């Protein structure tokens, strides 16, 4: 059977970061617990999952605190070329755009995600030099709790509005759509990151959606 290649392009919730208790808390769930690993186990053989999750990754913003390398739109073209041929690219970004430092309303975050879909659609990273399929995932809404609450002040309300915008953008571009906020909630320890149960729920839903889209 043909090997199917899926790239998971996201932030710390794709990386598998465990809810932060203090600055520089770098704990991470093991590969089998992270949602890409859960998805791979569900899909079985002949599926190759490429984990491209970077903590603090944004859609289109250079991070003035953590560095320009956190900007998703800068690195996506190189990743598409590096990992081709790709049958599907899963995009789950937008949470870090909710930080106060970016002052981005929900609509702007959605428009920024749309730029990523345009890059995928304009690439030759899929089979036979065609663009790969894209699955846009609305991230789980955040809570303003823990020591990260100040950094994300005002972000909780905006995060609730993202799913509707993302769904409309996915439809406009012929991409798949999944609302992770309907599957789980964030860990209240820091209000941003997923629990192991959340990873399992998202992994199962992703597997079902990928089967639907790729076969």
Over residues 94-109, the pLDDT tens digits come to: 999 999 999 999 999 9
Range of the domain at 61: 4-214
Interior angle at CA 146, CA 145 and CA 150, nearest 5: 75
- How many domains are contained in the chain? 1
In a structure prediction context, what are the per-residue pLDDT tens digits for the chain, which is 215 residues long?
689 999 999 999 999 999 999 999 999 999 999 999 999 999 999 999 999 999 999 999 999 999 999 999 999 999 999 999 999 999 999 999 999 999 999 999 999 999 999 999 999 999 999 999 999 999 999 999 999 999 999 999 999 999 999 999 999 999 999 999 999 999 999 999 999 999 999 999 999 999 999 97
Model confidence, pTM: 0.97
Token digits for 19?
């809810």
Residue in 95, 10, 94, 12 with CA at minimum distance from that of residue 49: 10
Evaluate whether 12 touches 187 at the Cβ level (below 8 Å): no
CATH number (domain holding residue 72)? 3.40.50.1110
Q: What are the pLDDT digits (tens) for 180-202? A: 999 999 999 999 999 999 999 99
């Amino acid at each position: 059977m043909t090997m199917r290649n899926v790239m998971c392009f996201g932030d710390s919730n794709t990386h598998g970061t465990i809810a932060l208790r203090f600055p520089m808390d770098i704990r991470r769930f093991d590969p089998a617990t992270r949602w890409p690993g859960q998805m791979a186990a569900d899909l079985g053989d002949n599926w190759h999952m490429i984990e491209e999750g970077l903590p603090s990754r944004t859609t289109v913003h250079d991070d003035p605190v953590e560095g320009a390398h956190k900007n998703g739109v800068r690195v996506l073209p190189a990743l598409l070329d590096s990992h081709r041929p790709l049958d599907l690219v899963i995009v789950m970004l937008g949470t870090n755009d909710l930080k106060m430092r970016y002052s981005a309303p929900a609509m702007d975050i959605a428009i920024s995600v749309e730029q990523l879909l345009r890059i995928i659609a304009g690439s030759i990273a899929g089979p036979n030099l065609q663009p790969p399929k894209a699955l846009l995932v609305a991230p789980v809404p955040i809570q303003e709790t823990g020591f990260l609450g100040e950094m994300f002040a005002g972000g909780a309300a905006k995060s609730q509005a993202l799913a509707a915008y993302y769904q409309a953008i996915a439809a406009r571009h012929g991409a798949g759509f999944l609302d992770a906020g309907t599957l789980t909630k964030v860990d209240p320890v820091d209000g941003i990151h997923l629990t192991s149960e959340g990873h399992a729920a998202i992994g199962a839903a992703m597997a079902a959606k990928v089967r639907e889209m790729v076969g």
